[in-house]
A and B are shown apart, each in its own frame.
Chain A
Amino acid sequence: QQPVQSPQAVILREGEDAVINCSSSKALYSVHWYRQKHGEAPIFLMILLKGGEQKGHDKISASFNEKKQQSSLYLTASQLSYSGTYFCGTGNTGTASKLTFGTGTRLQVTL
């Protein structure tokens, strides 16, 4: 079953912050985050493994709450280049490499 992402779409002005959530009905071992621009391949952003860790990547960071089976992606001081569709991919123990992706969150950053 696919993880559920929310919101489905969000429009921001440059400099504003956003949070994208990813929830699973299954126990998670890992959560990946990817960004895809229109007509291009998804690009890997970061991976979180069970343990509730938070990782950062420039002004993009993420958290993973394994008890709630949720992950959140935080985009701070958004830039035009952040526009695209964000996908979470979830993996389970024993099949950690096999990812199930959410349906995506479309993010548009405007001037």
Chain B
Amino acid sequence: NAGVTQTPKFQVLKTGQSMTLQCAQDMNHEYMSWYRQDPGMGLRLIHYSVGAGITDQGEVPNGYNVSRSTTEDFPLRLLSAAPSQTSVYFCASSYFNRERSYGYTFGSGTRLTVV
């Protein structure tokens, strides 16, 4: 099993450009989420999804869009890149049950630099 696959691993964007970070999982996990990691700030939740067709905002959603058309895929779109979006982005997935919690499997991350 591949687990959670993120592409690309590295990306440099110019301010104002748009791009999509890809995330795919092959574990039939209902729950998927995107986090950004900045030095000294830990992991902050951008958007999450509890199943195909259902998405919701996390702590820091501004400037990002998501969609979930299939169970496997959860792409993150940067609409108009800004230097403040320079970060490492992690996609994570887990089983889902509203009444309990399951361990996350993380992708290997995308290191994004906006110049």
- Complex contact A49–B42 (CB within 8 A): no
Q: List 5 A-B contacts (CB under 8 A).
A: A30-B100, A41-B107, A44-B103, A97-B50, A97-B98
**8 Å CB interface, B24-58 against A:** 31, 33, 35, 40-45, 48, 50, 58
Q: 1/0 contact trace for A86-111 toward B, CB 8 Å?
A: 01010100101111111110000000
For residue A4, give the distance in angstroms from its CB to the closest CB of chain B.
11
Q: How many residues of B contact A (CB 8 A)?
A: 29
Decide if B43 touches A42 in the complex (CB within 8 Å).
Answer: yes
CB contact between A47 and one of B41, B101, B107, B109 (< 8 Å): that residue: B101
Contact A2 B90 (CB under 8 A): no
**Interface residues as binary, B88-99 with A (CB distance below 8 Å gives 1, 0 otherwise):** 001000101111
Q: A97-B96, A101-B42 are in contact. Are A41 and B101 (CB under 8 A)?
A: no
Hey, which chain A residues are within 8 Å of B104, CB to CB? 32, 34, 42, 44, 89, 99
- Interface contact B101-A30, CB-CB below 8 Å: yes
CB contact between B101 and one of A32, A101, A103, A104 (< 8 Å): that residue: A32
Q: Chain B residues near A96 (CB, 8 Å)?
A: 97-101
A58 within 8 A of B: no
The answer to the question of B106 belonging to the interface, with a C-beta cut-off of 8 Å to chain A, is: yes
In the complex, besides A41-B107, A98-B45, A100-B59, 8 extra interface pairs with C-beta distance below 8 angstroms are: A30-B101, A43-B106, A44-B103, A49-B100, A97-B50, A97-B94, A97-B98, A99-B45
